[in-house]
Structure 1
């Protein structure tokens, strides 16, 4: 790996054999790995380890993965950490819950290590491309700075988790253009991640709660647009 430092991965699962096999494959690929076997320990380790990626099981003792993810996303230093859920559960509501609390990806068990490594690499590639396209957008009292992932409204900083920020930025850089849910899913979450269309609606609602309803307009039956009017 050609990075100045090793990229860090926190593996969180209550099954030791899964931890062992993922740790082996990640370290072999050049990642620095830390582990936790429950959600409470995962939060504690994350704030000291500052991982680039967290692989997070859903069903765990003491605290499940969904609540753990919610807590991790409230930590400013971890706002841009990739969180990938690993789970044996295939119910739609589990997947919706995972993305609602800020997951970047959702992979069903049994885990195929090579496929998982490819998904992680794809997340880093997309992030690098976005960083190369960094720019600053200002509309009325709203400043959206892609280079620093910050939103400032009327002089005050607005905290947006990573996916909410990317959704706002994507819409704002093409004002008055209507994007359907599928197009937003493709551009924000990527083609290699399966996400339900409802996830877009949830993220739009959360962005509106933070910056108001004046910027993102719903075009009934079509999708959303960033409105300059």
Structure 2
């Protein structure tokens, strides 16, 4: 990982967390146990503190930052989608911020909530526990069902397992010139996780 101290304050990464080598951690960043921080994620603790709670994931190209004196906080088991931007906000345990969403200063995403992909959560807006919210600006739509909550929890577990797999086996290699005969698939088959829409269609 690219890890930088500023003003004498260095990031903290638990030994059981995985932070990709292309991710950037600056200053007052604390990454807890079992976390996954994906390629090209940027966690900038050069103004406020960035906290990534236990077993949370911050996926590829996501950004976390905060104004001076403020914090950006992921409570344990948070799930942050690809290219999401979080600025000075708080995300509750088992909440999910969907792909490409923006969550602004002072916003609070309640435990177990889901922010739909591409949404804008405006400054100071609060999303209740286990609520679905989406849109620009985001608004609460309804309470999540048991199957949706289970789907989100499985996603958190899948990324925690990815952190473990990455620590154990991710290596820099030269690419092969062509696929080898009988090329293996990843051990994460379709039974590991499916898109929520597909789960709904299958009932």
TM-score in same-fold range (> 0.5): no
Instruction: Judging by fraction of residues, say which structure has more helix.
Output: 1
Instruction: Judging by fraction of residues, say which structure has more strand.
Output: 2
TM tier, shorter chain? Answer: under 0.3
Report the TM-score, using the length of structure 2 for normalisation: 0.28
